[in-house]
């Protein structure tokens, strides 16, 4: 835990959406948030209606909703009106195919406009949308479509050929494959259907508790789970984006996450549209130079990204920015993994503002703990619970769940259930779902602690925490200390069994440009860690790697480092990004 505090200027704090955290927490109510939405007749609620029709109703029809940047240099802007018409067409296409409310529509697409039309059109039609990451291989695609009984798949001819045609006969529920390009046997071209479909559609009369989105977890700790979310989630998407991302109409907003992961949908489609901003979508994968260009040229005001990307930008070196400047940039946030203090401070140095870390999960559907625009930032802390969210540190034993109220106590991070974007099921895994709830708490599976100012600090995933000679060691703390060293670009820390200590700490390190692995460097890093952490917590061993195994959503897979270390089975690696590069 570092002692640094980045103070917020009072003038800037007052200009934030939430100038006074304590006051908003005291005054906040979910029913009031729900009442602020347009809604459907008779208490109905529909995410796409809030994202499109409700925006057009308040004269945002001509405002750019989506600015898309294609791989081939194409740029297309869709206003709220235009996006709404495309979504309506897609909803009409589903209607013409007799897709019923509650049926599941999957996508297997890169970040192309059709993905956004399909997502919003599906929601409008009352069907359930499930986005899949386009880089998945056939097995993960099959597993996900089986679990959700996919009725429709929207994809490209090339992706269909490579990933779906071979498994099609194992998907009996899959009635329609709609191709956004090309032709394949057994598939239907989407373009003629869209052209023939009307561009008006009356939103299905969905209820707040009707299923809307199916999202699979990242698979960092094991087999991915299918978390089901309902239309009411939009209440949380809107509230949390206002508070935790400081989003407001007029913003140019860039969420770099792919909609194949929950962040790319909750905060890459729903929240920005519901607030009425212009969102940037880039088809191209991470590229430091292109990213700096995008931020500068498009005058991005709010940027939501992830620790891996930030660390890669750091690794590329700030010199790359050159003459580019970002005078319009107002707020930067990060999610998905713990954000090392080093990265928060790098933001301050390079962009004149810190990255604001926030914490949530596929299961929670929306941001739960965050650093706010108006609140001082303690680098390395996830911040404080969102208004309307009660978070606690708990100890779970056979006897039950006990809250640990004393500051600095380490325990499982838990939340009081009841917020609108909470998952309603792990599809077909009732027992696993039920296990998450106990004694009035939702148990996150992560370990954390709360300090005396109410800030939460991530310690590690329950499974990743190391027990060494009577100490409980969080990998994050060790990783953050090592990453402070100039040579270290990325690091994953695990515990390996040891006869005397129980477990010892071992670190896997990827080096920055200009550094080569050597025994001398290993000794230097061990010394640096010992100085920072003390001998009980510092790693005993360091090994160098070109790259660390990560999920496709960019999370370091510590369980895989450990399985490989111990020669154990690798388990489900369907979301692993190749780490042999
Ligand atoms: P799986 O549940 O399949 O193992 P996953 O937990 O990585 O995968 P997600 O729901 O995408 O799937 O990720 C949520 C998890 O990511 C959190 O439980 C936490 O461990 C980690 N995480 C997210 N944001 C943060 C953050 N700001 N700081 C620390 N950890 C974070
Ligand atoms: Mg998880």
How far is 266 from 304, CA to CA, in rounded Å?
12
Q: Are 20 and 374 in contact (CB under 8 A)?
A: yes
Query: What is the model's pLDDT at position 466?
Result: 93
Query: What is the model's pLDDT at position 579?
Result: 55
CA distances from 478 to 47, 49, 256, 512 (A): 41, 46, 27, 18
The residue whose C-alpha atom lies closest to atom 5 belonging to ligand 1 is: 218
How far is 244 from 237, CA to CA, in rounded Å?
10
Ligand 1 mean position, distance from CA 360 (Å): 7
Place of tokens 């500068």: 296
How far is 257 from 77, CA to CA, in rounded Å?
19
- 314 burial type by CB count under 10 A (0-12 exposed, 13-18 middle, 19+ buried): buried
Query: What is the model's pLDDT at position 2?
Result: 63
* Whole-prediction pTM: 0.94
Query: From the CB of residue 436, how many other CB atoms can be counted at a distance below 10 Å?
Result: 18
Query: What is the model's pLDDT at position 5?
Result: 95
Tokens (6 digits) for 331: 């707020």
Q: Could you report the per-residue pLDDT of 259-306, keeping only the tens digit for each? A: 999 999 999 999 999 999 999 999 999 999 999 999 999 999 999 999
Residues of 5-37 as b/e, b for ≥16 C-beta within 10 angstroms?
ebebeeeebeebbbeebeebbeebebeebbeeb
Q: Which ligand is nearest to the CA of 222?
A: 1
Ligand 1 mean position, distance from CA 335 (Å): 9
Ligand 1 mutation pick, 131, 220, 224, max ligand atoms within 8 A of CB = 220
DSSP state of 208: T
DSSP state of 550: E
The residue whose C-alpha atom lies closest to atom 11 belonging to ligand 1 is: 218
Helix (H, G, I), strand (E, B) or coil at 539: coil
Phi, psi of 571 (to 5 degrees): 70, -160
Place of tokens 């619970």: 385
Tokens (6 digits) for 127: 């069907």
The residue whose C-alpha atom lies closest to atom 13 belonging to ligand 1 is: 361
Query: What is the model's pLDDT at position 456?
Result: 98
C-beta 251 within 6 A of ligand 1: no
Q: Are 519 and 301 in contact (CB under 8 A)?
A: no
Parallel, antiparallel or unpaired: strands 425-426 and 391-397: unpaired
The residue whose C-alpha atom lies closest to atom 17 belonging to ligand 1 is: 361
Ligand 1 mean position, distance from CA 250 (Å): 30
C-beta 258 within 6 A of ligand 1: no
Tokens (6 digits) for 143: 């597993």
Residues 6+ apart with CB under 8 A from 397: none
Parallel, antiparallel or unpaired: strands 576-577 and 355-359: unpaired
Place of tokens 């802007």: 77
**Element holding 234 (H helix, E strand):** helix 233-244
Rounded (5°) CA angle 382-388-394: 55
C-beta 480 within 6 A of ligand 1: no
Helix (H, G, I), strand (E, B) or coil at 335: coil
Tokens (6 digits) for 180: 């956004």
CA distances from 390 to 25, 385, 445, 521 (A): 10, 7, 16, 45
Ligand 1 mean position, distance from CA 138 (Å): 24
Tokens (6 digits) for 34: 């729900």
Q: Which parts of the chain register pLDDT below 50?
A: 580-581
Ligand 1 mean position, distance from CA 385 (Å): 16
Which of 218, 164, 209 has its CA nearest to residue 186?
A: 164
Phi, psi of 456 (to 5 degrees): -100, 145
How far is 438 from 445, CA to CA, in rounded Å?
12
Q: Are 367 and 335 in contact (CB under 8 A)?
A: yes
Which of 265, 274, 260, 340 has its CA nearest to residue 304?
A: 265
Q: Are 173 and 388 in contact (CB under 8 A)?
A: no
C-beta 218 within 6 A of ligand 1: yes
Tokens (6 digits) for 548: 């660390």
How far is 110 from 473, CA to CA, in rounded Å?
39
Which of 278, 305, 287 has its CA nearest to residue 553?
A: 305
The residue whose C-alpha atom lies closest to atom 16 belonging to ligand 1 is: 336
Q: Are 141 and 162 in contact (CB under 8 A)?
A: no
Q: How many CA atoms lie within 13 A of 10 on its CB side?
A: 0
C-beta 224 within 6 A of ligand 1: yes
DSSP assignment of 135-176 = T--HHHHHHHHHHTTEEEEEE-HHHIIIIIGGGGGG-TT--E
How far is 560 from 545, CA to CA, in rounded Å?
14
Phi, psi of 239 (to 5 degrees): -65, -45
Radius of gyration of the chain, Cα coordinates, nearest whole angstrom:
23
C-beta 336 within 6 A of ligand 1: yes
């Amino acid at each position: 835990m570092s002692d640094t505090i980045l103070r917020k200027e009072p003038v800037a704090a007052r200009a934030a959406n939430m100038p006074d955290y304590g006051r908003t927490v005291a005054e906040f109510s979910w029913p009031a948030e729900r009442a602020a939405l347009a809604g459907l007749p008779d208490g109905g609620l529909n995410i796409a209606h809030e994202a499109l029709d409700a925006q057009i109703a308040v004269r945002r029809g001509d405002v750019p909703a989506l600015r898309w940047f294609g791989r081939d240099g194409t740029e297309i802007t869709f206003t709220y009106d235009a996006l709404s018409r495309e979504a309506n067409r897609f909803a009409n296409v589903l209607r013409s195919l007799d897709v019923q409310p509650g049926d599941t529509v999957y996508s297997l697409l890169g970040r192309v406009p059709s993905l956004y039309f399909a997502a919003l059109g599906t929601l409008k039609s009352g069907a359930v949308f499930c986005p899949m990451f386009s880089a998945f291989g056939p097995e993960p695609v099959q597993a996900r479509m089986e679990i959700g009984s996919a009725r429709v798949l929207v994809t490209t001819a090339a992706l269909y050929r490579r990933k779906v045609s071979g498994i099609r006969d194992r998907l009996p529920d899959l009635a329609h494959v709609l191709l956004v390009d090309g032709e394949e046997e057994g598939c239907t071209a989407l373009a003629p259907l869209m052209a023939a479909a009307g561009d008006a559609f009356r939103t299905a009369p969905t209820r707040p508790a009707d299923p809307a989105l199916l999202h699979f977890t990242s698979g960092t700790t094991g087999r991915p789970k299918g978390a089901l979310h309902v239309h009411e989630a939009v209440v949380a998407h809107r509230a949390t984006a206002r508070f935790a991302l400081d989003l407001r109409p007029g913003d140019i907003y860039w969420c770099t996450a792919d909609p194949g992961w929950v962040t790319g949908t909750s905060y890459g489609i729903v929240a920005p549209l519901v607030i009425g901003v212009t969102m940037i979508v880039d088809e191209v994968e991470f590229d430091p130079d292109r990213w700096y260009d995008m931020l500068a040229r498009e005058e991005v005001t709010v940027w939501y990204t992830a620790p891996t990307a930030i660390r890669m930008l750091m690794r590329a070196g700030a010199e790359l920015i050159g003459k580019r400047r970002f005078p319009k940039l107002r707020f930067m946030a990060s999610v998905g993994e713990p954000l090392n203090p080093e990265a928060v401070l790098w933001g301050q140095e390079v962009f004149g503002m810190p990255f604001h870390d926030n914490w949530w999960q596929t299961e929670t559907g929306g941001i739960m703990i965050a650093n706010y625009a108006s609140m001082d930032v303690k680098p390395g802390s996830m911040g404080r619970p969102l208004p309307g969210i009660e978070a606690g540190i708990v100890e779970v034993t056979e006897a039950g769940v006990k809250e640990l109220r004393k500051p600095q106590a380490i325990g499982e991070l838990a939340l009081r259930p009841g917020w609108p974007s909470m998952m309603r099921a792990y599809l077909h895994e009732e027992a696993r779902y039920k296990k998450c709830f106990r004694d009035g708490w939702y148990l996150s599976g992560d370990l954390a602690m709360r300090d005396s100012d109410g800030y939460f600090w991530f310690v590690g995933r329950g499974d990743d925490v190391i027990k060494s000679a009577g100490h409980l060691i969080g990998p994050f703390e060790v990783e953050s200390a090592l990453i402070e060293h100039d040579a270290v670009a990325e690091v994953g820390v695990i515990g390996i069994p040891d006869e005397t200590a129980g477990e010892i700490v071992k670190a896997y390190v990827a080096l920055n440009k200009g550094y080569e692995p050597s025994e001398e460097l290993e000794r230097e890093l061990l010394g640096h860690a010992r100085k920072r952490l003390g001998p009980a917590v510092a790693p005993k061993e360091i090994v160098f790697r070109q790259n660390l195994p990560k999920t496709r959503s960019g999370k370091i897979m510590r369980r895989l480092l450990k399985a490989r270390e111990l020669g154990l089975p690798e388990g489900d690696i369907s979301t692993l990004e190749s780490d042999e590069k």
